[in-house]
A and B are shown apart, each in its own frame.
Chain A
């Protein structure tokens, strides 16, 4: 079976001058994981070795690195493919220039979130942690079954602490913003 095109998606190859945002580039210089980004010379090792890229025509890490170098803010932050990195860190281990590629993608996602772009699954996971301290809402029946089969009680997370931390982290504010 051919690996390419199993998940066909559209990718706009046309680039216009107004796609480049110099302010976005300047802001990136302050973020630690972007400092090595300028060392990327587009060899494509990240994409060649990416298990996700084998099955997607739009998620190519190299493309994100180049678009970020050029300051294509809207294209990068608004891209659905930005959320396709599985964080397996193969690219990080293989990059000959030592670019923390997964770290760059993660930082770009954080920026997208600050702009109000949060995929529903991340909204749900964050909401669960805000409400229970755990990433999943574990049904009461499953907690009861644990005890029946002799497993220790799953402790309740300290929600007082979790709530206080979320208050100072201010991500609860971002989560309240409407998903664009």
Chain B
């Protein structure tokens, strides 16, 4: 696995409101000996435009793929939305010559040409599980987080649609659980574990996602998890930033800290909570660590 290099695609949501995710992921990847190459420039992955104009999504995603093809590097993203969108487009361009021609017709306007399938698009947990590997991760764990019991929430686009993503089993995902267990903590099962958090429809209808995320938080509390582990800036927003809103709406108290996976791994690697930007989370996560 020597010499893993990725082109880091940050996307829009993480620089907008999730620096804690980026800071922790960068430190953890560096500790694992992964080389991160910055993108000189990029644009939105295209996902928000899919509902408005499918072609616009394909073109924006393809432009990013082009930039990676020119560098000859695999893309690494922290956001499942970006990973899922660009991975799917990458596959579709490879299998559908007509679609590729259609998209290159647009890209011609800016002097670009996309191949499709030349590079890979990986989400952080795909890279950690499949490229870097559990053994390597376990080697870097010097402060196992024994006694910590957590629950996980996979981002939908890391797993679905299975036909295109081909990572883990979307009906019974275990790879994030294995990654969590590598830090020494226990990962609990809970009801409706694989359900979406609802974040994509915030702005169209706020109540449904708040009820949905509230239902998940209730099920997580029921199994007495100390924290919830996420790998997506949107899921994190739903469970952490919106948790107090959900509590007000449902007149229930959850108080469940929501931790980005790389923050958890970083703590097990011996980084301090401050270095992992744990103080930036809305629901206080330092308590559960102090009491352990």
Give Cα distance in the complex from A146 to B12, angstroms: 14
**For chains A and B in complex, what number of residue pairs have CB atoms within 8 angstroms?**
181
A41 on interface, CB distance cutoff 8 Å: no
Which size bracket describes the interface of A in this complex?
35 or more
Chain B residues lying within 8 Å of A119, measured Cβ to Cβ, are 203-204
Looking at A10-18, A68-76, A152-160, the stretch in contact with chain B turns out to be A152-160
If A87-B200, A151-B23 touch, does A169 touch B56 (CB 8 Å cutoff)? yes
Give Cα distance in the complex from A3 to B195, angstroms: 14
Q: Check B208 against A110 for contact (C-beta < 8 Å).
A: no
Q: Check A129 against B44 for contact (C-beta < 8 Å).
A: yes
Q: How far is the CB of B11 from chain A (nearest CB, A)?
A: 8
Give Cα distance in the complex from A87 to B81, angstroms: 10
Scan A54-92; emit 1 where CB is below 8 A from any B CB, else 0.
111001000000000000000000001001111111101
A48 on interface, CB distance cutoff 8 Å: no
* Cross-chain contact of A168 among B109, B157, B203, B208 (Cβ < 8 A): B109
If A51-B212, A171-B52 touch, does A89 touch B161 (CB 8 Å cutoff)? yes
Give Cα distance in the complex from A7 to B192, angstroms: 19
Scan A114-146; emit 1 where CB is below 8 A from any B CB, else 0.
000011111001100100011110100011011
Give Cα distance in the complex from A152 to B171, angstroms: 38
Q: How far is the CB of A51 from chain B (nearest CB, A)?
A: 4
Q: Check B212 against A106 for contact (C-beta < 8 Å).
A: no
* Cross-chain contact of B38 among A6, A55, A109, A152 (Cβ < 8 A): A152
21 contacts between A and B (CB under 8 A): A3-B215, A7-B207, A85-B201, A86-B200, A88-B156, A89-B157, A92-B160, A92-B161, A93-B171, A113-B52, A120-B203, A121-B204, A126-B48, A126-B52, A129-B49, A149-B23, A151-B23, A155-B42, A157-B44, A165-B107, A169-B106
Chain B contacts to A: CB under 8 angstroms: 10, 12-13, 15-17, 19, 22-23, 26, 38-44, 48-56, 59-60, 63, 106-107, 109-110, 112, 156-157, 160-163, 170-171, 192, 194-196, 198-201, 203-205, 207-209, 211-212, 215
